[in-house]
Amino acid sequence: MGIEVLSIVLLICLLSFFIIGSPVGLALGGIAMLVGYFSWGTGIYNVIPTTIEGTFFNYILLAIPLYIYMGQLLSHTGIGDAMFKASQLMIGRVRGSLAISVVFICSMIGAMVGIIGAGIMSSGSIALKPMLEAGYDRKLALGTIMAGGALGILIPPSIPMVMFAASTHNSVGRMFIGALMPALLTISLIILYVIISTKLNPKRAPLLSETIGLPVLTKKEKFKIGRDGFLSIGLIFVVLGSIIAGIATPTESGALGVAGAMLLAMLFKRFKFEIFKLAGFQAASLISVAMWIILGASLFSNFQLLMGIQSMIAGFIHNLDLPPLAIILMFQFIMLLLGFILDDYVIVLMCAPLFTPIAVTLGYDPIWFGVLMIINILIAVQTPPYGFALFYLKGITPPDVGMGEIYKSVTPFILINLVVLITCMVFPNIVLWLPNLLMG
């Protein structure tokens, strides 16, 4: 069976398994081994132990459980709520201040959790209720939560970035630093949109003094809120800063983050065994699901590499005789379509080993391409009608919120992300300037 026929069979089987609701990891790994067996016989099973060894014993991937556990600790101990209050205190009582706080804090919480689905649900559980109680327009509330929570994969420490670096043998530190400027640009544009839209239509974001009675805080209370928020946000910068400074590897910085989350919980007097037990169980659940998906996606990817799909793609691209940037655009379009049916880290594991080497042969920097991939996935999983993240957002909304309202709420923010993607594509130094400056 030729590579083209095998690729078509794999695609049909994959879509069929997803339609009937099969677990993603089982579908990816099972299909690869089944098609491989009928094509090459039992020899294909030799891929399994080598894939397990290369996947589960990869030092870089050890960071994933640590980042997930850190995120769960910060979420369950109420430290995210402390960040939210501190941000609101810092911004002040201006129109749209709550939405601006939500964008900033949800992006930080999303970064703690590191996965889009968990980031949106964790952020929404903290931010949605106060926004609705303050009389904010529901579409603005939902859109800002989606935009902030999903943005966590573009803000270090990001689990999809760790997966990209591990699967393409690139520097996690350079990926983290390269994503900072695009993330900052995205947050700035989102906040600018909130300010302009609420100024044009004040009913979208009433002043908090108009809707809810705000207590007058004493200096002591303000100091406590500011201290708690500063320490909480500071933990994220310590984790990232330890990597940039070369003090710790990404895995060691994950352990530093867990220890820091525990110390903060003790400092805030929220150190309870029940909380740590719950955080541990939920982290273990997320980690086990993630690892099964990583294994299945790695088996699927390795089978494709063995059957020579990279050569097929390279030959196909060569025959198209397209300029290099058009090929990059084609890769972006493919990943955009995959975002309708797959979660963020699955797309990274499937596409990174296939597309990145081709991008490098075309003369592009792998870190630049990796950051473009993350931004693209950020757009794809939020794009109606089938974007994965839309259904995560639906899970934390009131029962009377329909999918149509959710689609309308995310549209402006998707356009903002698209502007950032195009800007970073046209001006690569937005991604590459900072890592080249700090790491050479």
The DSSP line for 180-202 is HHHHHHHHHHHHHHHHHHHHH-G
Quote the pLDDT of residue 126.
67
Query: What pLDDT does 210 receive?
Result: 47
Give, in order, the Cα–Cα distances in Å from 144 to each of 119, 129, 138, 412: 13, 13, 10, 10
- The SS3 call for residue 381 is coil
Residue 208 has what pLDDT?
58
Q: In this predicted structure, what is the pLDDT of residue 430?
A: 94
Question: Per-domain residue ranges for the chain?
Answer: 58-271+307-439
Q: Residue 93 has what pLDDT?
A: 64
pLDDT tens, 416-438?
999 999 999 999 999 999 998 88
pLDDT number for residue 212: 47
For residue 24, how many other CB atoms are within 10 A of its CB? 20
Helix, coil or strand: residue 207: coil
Residue 137 vs residues 172, 385, 405, 409: alpha-carbon distances, Å: 39, 22, 11, 10
Q: For residue 39, what are its two tokens?
A: 């094509």
Please say if the pLDDT value at position 209 is more than 60.
no
Average pLDDT of the chain is: 78
Q: For the whole model, what pTM was predicted?
A: 0.74
CB 110 within 8 A of CB 126: no
Q: How many CA atoms lie within 13 A of 69 on its CB side?
A: 21
